[in-house]
Amino acid sequence: MSRYDVIIVGAGNAALCAAISAKEQGSRVLVLEKGPSEKRGGNSFFTDGAIRVGYGNFDAMRNFIELDEETTNKIDMPEYSPQDFYDDIMRVSKNQSKPELIQQLVTQSLPTIEWMKSHGVEFELNFANQSFEKEGRIQFWGGLPIKTVDKGIGLMRSLFNRCEELGIDVWYEAAASKILTENNGVTGIEVKTKEGTKTIDCQNVVLACGSFEADKKKRVEALGEEWGAALVRGTEFNTGDGIDMAALVGAQKFGQYDGCHAIGTDANAPRVGDFQKPGDIFKKHSYPYTVMVNVDGYRFVDEGADFRNYTYAKYGKEVLKQPKNMAYQVFDAKVRPIVREEYNLDEATVFEAATLEELALKIDIQKEQFLQTIEEYNAAVQDGEFNPSVKDGKGTTGITLPKSNWAQTISEGPFYAYPITCGITFAFGGIATTPNGEVLHKNGEKIQGLFAAGEMIGGIFYENYPGGSGLMSGSVFGKLAGKSAAIHATHAQAVK
Ligand SMILES: Cc1cc2nc3c(=O)[nH]c(=O)nc-3n(C[C@H](O)[C@H](O)[C@H](O)COP(=O)(O)OP(=O)(O)OC[C@H]3O[C@@H](n4cnc5c(N)ncnc54)[C@H](O)[C@@H]3O)c2cc1C
């Protein structure tokens, strides 16, 4: 008899939510993690902890976020319903996301947060990155006010602690390499460990081992040649093993294989996520309040098209397309005080000068075109009140590439230039599942005993991504897949 009812592959957020959920149902659970214990937690460990929830109204958050009365009274919190969350995903994916999956994600988001809280995960409001103060009021914007305490580090610490409390076994340096099946049902899994390859009998496997962004060859094949030059923001271990293993047993590949989440990140960030430097400290996300220029001196996107939460994940690709795969974000003295905290870290690469001419000499840019671009942009900026808490409509007119919101002249020294390049977060392609995480065969039937969660599920994200959805997706589908696997295990035993 097998020692385990359910085996979870991976030890990121989706995997550990699946493990805890299966354990709650009474299953004996084993977690297999490819990395060593000091590199555990996957991409989830690297995150800012921002998590998108259809919370409804401010009152509903009080069940899982503690706030004192004085602060509460100062907060203006826009309502954000599951339907708003649904609409945001559908809008940014141009209606390509699979409706049943998104429906499940948005309706389960709030109950799943409450469930995580019951297992020791702590949440707080993201004052630093998702609100601005105006006339004594703290105004939130962009549907993403919630984060985990101590970012992804805190999230993963809480989940690992809970697994330990519940007696869930975790094997490190144990890379799942093959799913064993008989008659369209899982019978076991092969694992590469330091002692050699082992076979573990088990009829229920949850694949939660991420996407393939850390495998350069696969990245280039799926996304295009230029993606060889992208930095990998997170774990080195997400090399598409889960997708390969699932496909070998007939699973249907699904979702946008030529799409990914990628951002503008510090040009000097590590080539692949450094577990000694988590916390998402290299991103540079205050571009909506300024302009970005390439080394030829030209702008290349509407920096103010929407709130950062709805553009950052698609603008990395635009940075990658620029000469030398890089660009500069240019700020002047009036905007510098409101930029996000990552700009103030020691890790931030910055060039500073008293004038734009001097700045141009310090950076790698075509000076005359750069100065002309800024001059034309400044002339195109329209009057109006700058307000970063709303889409203020303060845009430009008369330039070919407009800026739709938050346009202010770049005119007060000192001036700052932050060099950025493209950092890939994860790829959108995955495998097909039901809304309960059951993996579908190419023939449309369920593969008995095989489940998936997190970045492995295809069909959720296309083209773009509303910030904070990756963690929520991992939590929702992790919890569901773990429960589905446990129920399947119980059912199989009852049948025996
Ligand atoms: C720098 C950064 C910042 C981010 N910030 C946010 C944010 O603030 N909010 C948000 O919602 N999303 C954020 N994301 C995206 C988010 O991390 C992911 O969408 C989400 O965490 C994915 O969870 P997961 O459990 O599917 O994968 P992961 O957390 O990546 O876990 C996968 C695990 O599987 C393991 N593994 C791989 N192959 C095998 C194998 N063969 N056998 C065993 N184990 C294996 C890996 O080692 C890893 O531990 C960020 C990502 C990065 C990189």
User: What's the 454 CA to ligand 1 centre distance in angstroms?
Assistant: 8
Q: Read out DSSP for 332-353?
A: -TTTGGGS-GGGGSTT---EEE
User: What's the 212 CA to ligand 1 centre distance in angstroms?
Assistant: 11
Query: Could you tell me the fold of the domain covering 6-212+428-495?
Result: FAD/NAD(P)-binding domain (3.50.50)
User: What's the 444 CA to ligand 1 centre distance in angstroms?
Assistant: 27
Rounded distance, CA 47 to CA 24, Å? Answer: 26
Tens digit of each residue's pLDDT (9 = 90 or more) over 238-288: 999 999 999 999 999 999 999 999 999 999 999 999 999 999 999 999 999
> Do the beta carbons of residue 307 and residue 141 sit within 8 Å?
yes
Rounded distance, CA 425 to CA 316, Å? Answer: 10
pLDDT of residue 430: 98
pLDDT of residue 122: 98
Q: What share of the chain is helix, strand, coil (3-state, %, to 5)?
A: 35, 25, 40
CB atoms closer than 10 angstroms to residue 124: 17
Q: pLDDT over 70 for what percent of the chain?
A: 99
User: What's the 13 CA to ligand 1 centre distance in angstroms?
Assistant: 7
| Residue among 13, 34, 47 whose CB has most ligand 1 atoms within 8 A, to mutate | 47
CA distances from 245 to 43, 144, 251, 252, 323 (A): 20, 34, 9, 11, 37
Mean pLDDT across 338-348 = 97
> Do the beta carbons of residue 247 and residue 431 sit within 8 Å?
yes
User: What's the 51 CA to ligand 1 centre distance in angstroms?
Assistant: 13
- Per-residue pLDDT band for 496 (boundaries 50, 70, 90) equals low
Tens digit of each residue's pLDDT (9 = 90 or more) over 429-462: 999 999 999 999 999 999 999 999 999 999 999 9
User: What's the 163 CA to ligand 1 centre distance in angstroms?
Assistant: 18
Which residue ranges does the chain devote to CATH 3.90.700.10? 262-423
Residue 146 has pLDDT above 90, yes or no: yes
- Mean pLDDT estimate for the chain: 97
Rounded distance, CA 53 to CA 32, Å? Answer: 29
Q: Is 139 helix (H, G, I), strand (E, B) or coil?
A: strand
Quick one: tokens of 138?
């703290």
pLDDT of residue 28: 98
| Ligand 1: residue whose CA is nearest its atom 53 | 234
Residues in the chain: 496
Q: pLDDT over 90 for what percent of the chain?
A: 98
Report the CATH architecture of 262-423. Alpha-Beta Complex (3.90)
Tens digit of each residue's pLDDT (9 = 90 or more) over 156-201: 999 999 999 999 999 999 999 999 999 989 999 999 999 999 999 9
Measure the N-to-C terminal CA separation of the chain; round to a whole number of Å: 12
Q: Read out DSSP for 270-288?
A: -SB--TTS-SS-SB---GG
Residue 61 has pLDDT above 70, yes or no: yes
pLDDT of residue 491: 85
Quick one: tokens of 108?
């389960």
| Residue among 33, 149, 209, 341 whose CB has most ligand 1 atoms within 8 A, to mutate | 209
Rounded distance, CA 69 to CA 46, Å? Answer: 32
Residue 75's identity, in one-letter code, is I
Residue 2 has pLDDT above 90, yes or no: no
> Do the beta carbons of residue 197 and residue 191 sit within 8 Å?
yes
| Ligand 1: residue whose CA is nearest its atom 50 | 47
Secondary structure string (H, E, C) spanning 215-255 = CHHHHHHHHCHHHHHCEECCCCCCCCHHHHHHHHCCECEEC
Rounded distance, CA 126 to CA 131, Å? Answer: 7
Residue 492's identity, in one-letter code, is A
| Residue among 471, 476, 479 whose CB has most ligand 1 atoms within 8 A, to mutate | 471
Q: Is 32 exposed, middle or buried (0-12, 13-18, 19+ CB in 10 A)?
A: buried
- Protein residues whose CB sits closer than 6 Å to any atom of ligand 1: 9-15, 32-35, 42-44, 46-51, 175-176, 208-210, 233-235, 237-238, 241, 280, 425-426, 454-455, 468-471, 474
Rounded distance, CA 474 to CA 401, Å? Answer: 37
Q: Ligand 1: which atom is nearest the Cα of residue 49?
A: 8
pLDDT of residue 492: 77
Residue 1 has pLDDT above 70, yes or no: no
Which residues make Cβ contacts (< 8 Å) with residue 356, sequence separation at least 6?
A: 370, 371, 374, 410, 415
| Ligand 1: residue whose CA is nearest its atom 15 | 470
Q: Ligand 1: which atom is nearest the Cα of residue 191?
A: 42
